[in-house]
Amino acid sequence: MRRELIISGAILFAMSGPLVAREKGIRLWNLTTATISNFQLSPAGQNAWGPNQTLNDKDKEVDHDERLRITEVAPGRYDAKVGYPDGRACVVRDIEIKANAVFSIADKDLRDCSK
């Protein structure tokens, strides 16, 4: 009986991993070489920018190699406006965002940068 309880507990514990992962939601992984201070999404090609997602972070910025929780965004294809503390702003076009997944932005993805 005890062995069966231990095995059942181990199975339940192993199964809980995927459940926890699903609850993390959509996240941005900043692989640019700089800290991001503004990150807005728009449905691809529409220039209808949503709220600044960096406000979801405790220090309101996303450092290099940091992940940011993205809220109120459904899976789909988006353009992103990426802003930096020095005033530079760039656009990343046609990002695929999947439910409960991480998407990344790197320097090579940045287009149409201005200051």
Domains of the chain, CATH where assigned: 25-114 (2.60.40.2890)
Joined together, the tokens standing for residue 86 give 């020095």
E strand spans, the chain: 26-31, 38-43, 67-70, 76-83, 89-97, 102-106, 111-114
Is this structure's pTM higher than 0.85? no
Strands 67-70 and 89-97: unpaired
- What residues have CB less than 8 Å from 51, skipping those under 6 apart? 40, 72
pLDDT tens-digit series, residues 91-115: 999 999 999 999 999 999 999 999 8
pLDDT tens-digit series, residues 31-63: 999 999 999 999 999 999 999 999 999 999 999
Instruction: Indicate the residue type of 20.
Output: V
For residue 53, list its beta bridge partners: none
